[in-house]
Amino acid sequence: MSERVKVTIDGISVEVEQGTTILNAARLIGGEIVPPAMCYYSKLEGSGGKCRTCLVKVSKGSEKDPRPMPKLVASCRTTVMEGMEVQNITSPEVKEARKGVVELLLINHPLDCPVCDQAGECHLQDLSYEHGSAATRYEFDRRSFERRDIGDKIQLHMTRCILCYRCVYVADQITDRREHGVLGRGDAAEISTYIEKAIENDFSGNVIDVCPVGALTDRTFRFKNRVWFTKPVDAHCNCDKCSGKVTLWYKGEDVIRVTARKDEYGEVESFICNDCRFEKKKTSDWVIEGPRKISKHSVISANHYEQLAPPPVIRKNPALKEANKEQFERVIRY
């Protein structure tokens, strides 16, 4: 068994396996102290280290060498040491730096949330609300690109891209051949034109789910609805290519989108194939499991009536409790 080390993040201690990153140690604690991450993706090997949103302050390096680290570090790339002490939300320096990172990420971003399909589930939108400032110091022309269709199911809107490389890792690790990548450096960097070829693969649709912004969108869902007006439902099917575990997004009786299921950090639980994502848009294609539980902090939970517990008068009375068994078992009701 590998050695365990103790790390303290914002005053909360946790024991983790040696080699764990600060970000993953924070995720084990959970809650507000978890740094945001725009490029790291737990299911994609080698991801992280690109966006700097996860910066934290290491105020004590380790028990052996308690000196603080001289600069803020990327928590997704820095591993914990025994006795390490880290500050995230308790450090004004980190908060200020994160504001700067958000400003940088938004330099070329078109801020077209009102017409973007990703609005409501966009990590950059959340990041800007939580850590951004109302104004920008940037005075120059923003770079822009033409939208590009990647086959008939996916669209690339490079102007919104924050160059997190997640889609590149998906093509590298989930599909059998990667034909796109980031070409150029600095303000000339862009997803290469060869991304069009990635569509040939059964798992290429996963680039949509991993994209933290609206740069890669599902053409079969474009402009069909705002995501907070849809009703997400967990469902599964017997698929010979993937786990078949998905979330169906309903508008009335119609399935208007199929995605992989995502965890509390917005990362997919398991990647799904293009057949499940694009070809099965009928309720009869699926075994419905029940409403998807959406965090009450998400705008997607708006318009959903959530009943978390029956009223106390029922809870305290065993006879009434039995009579209202169904109500006890129900978590979300539309």
**What distance in Å separates the CA atoms of residue 34 and residue 265, rounded to the nearest whole number?**
10
Integer angstrom CA distances of residue 38 from 47, 100, 247, 312: 10, 15, 22, 42
Helix (H) or strand (E) holding 269: none
Based on the shown chain and the rule CB under 6 A, indicate whether residue 27 belongs to the binding site for ligand SF4: no
**What distance in Å separates the CA atoms of residue 45 and residue 71, rounded to the nearest whole number?**
25
Based on the shown chain and the rule CB under 6 A, indicate whether residue 83 belongs to the binding site for ligand FES: no
Reference 250, options 235, 233, 266; nearest CA is 233
Binder of ligand FES out of 9, 16, 54, 97 (CB under 6 A): 54
Q: Using an 8 Å Cβ cutoff, are 42 and 267 in contact?
A: yes
Of 25 and 210, which has the nearer Cβ to ligand SF4?
210
Residue facing ligand FES at closest CB distance: 76
Binder of ligand SF4 out of 34, 51, 84, 211 (CB under 6 A): 211
Q: Using an 8 Å Cβ cutoff, are 203 and 273 in contact?
A: yes
CB neighbours of residue 176 within 10 Å: 9
- Helices 123-131, 92-105: inter-axial angle, 10-degree rounding: 130
Site mask for ligand SF4 (CB under 6 A), range 151-190, x = bound: ----------xxxxxxx-----------------------
Based on the shown chain and the rule CB under 6 A, indicate whether residue 105 belongs to the binding site for ligand SF4: no
Of 25 and 76, which has the nearer Cβ to ligand FES?
76
Q: Which amino acid is at 310?
A: P
Binder of ligand SF4 out of 23, 210, 233, 294 (CB under 6 A): 210
Tokens 């028990």 belong to residue: 63
Of 51 and 84, which has the nearer Cβ to ligand FES?
51
Binding partner selected for residue 14 from ligand SF4, ligand FES, none, CB under the kind-specific 5 to 8 Å limit? none
User: Within its chain, how far is the Cα of 252 from the centroid?
Assistant: 26
Binding partner selected for residue 37 from ligand FES, ligand SF4, none, CB under the kind-specific 5 to 8 Å limit? ligand FES
Binder of ligand FES out of 8, 20, 24, 53 (CB under 6 A): 53
Based on the shown chain and the rule CB under 6 A, indicate whether residue 40 belongs to the binding site for ligand FES: yes
Based on the shown chain and the rule CB under 6 A, indicate whether residue 102 belongs to the binding site for ligand SF4: no
Based on the shown chain and the rule CB under 6 A, indicate whether residue 102 belongs to the binding site for ligand FES: no
Binding partner selected for residue 167 from ligand FES, ligand SF4, none, CB under the kind-specific 5 to 8 Å limit? ligand SF4
Least distance (Å) between residue 204 CB and ligand FES: 23
Q: Name 291's bridge partners.
A: 233
Least distance (Å) between residue 90 CB and ligand SF4: 30
Integer angstrom CA distances of residue 308 from 290, 311, 312, 319: 15, 10, 12, 20
Based on the shown chain and the rule CB under 6 A, indicate whether residue 74 belongs to the binding site for ligand FES: yes
Alpha-helical regions (H) of 88-192: 92-105, 123-131, 166-173
Binding residues for ligand FES (CB under 6 A): 37-40, 48-54, 74, 76
Binding residues for ligand SF4 (CB under 6 A): 161-167, 191, 210-213, 215-216
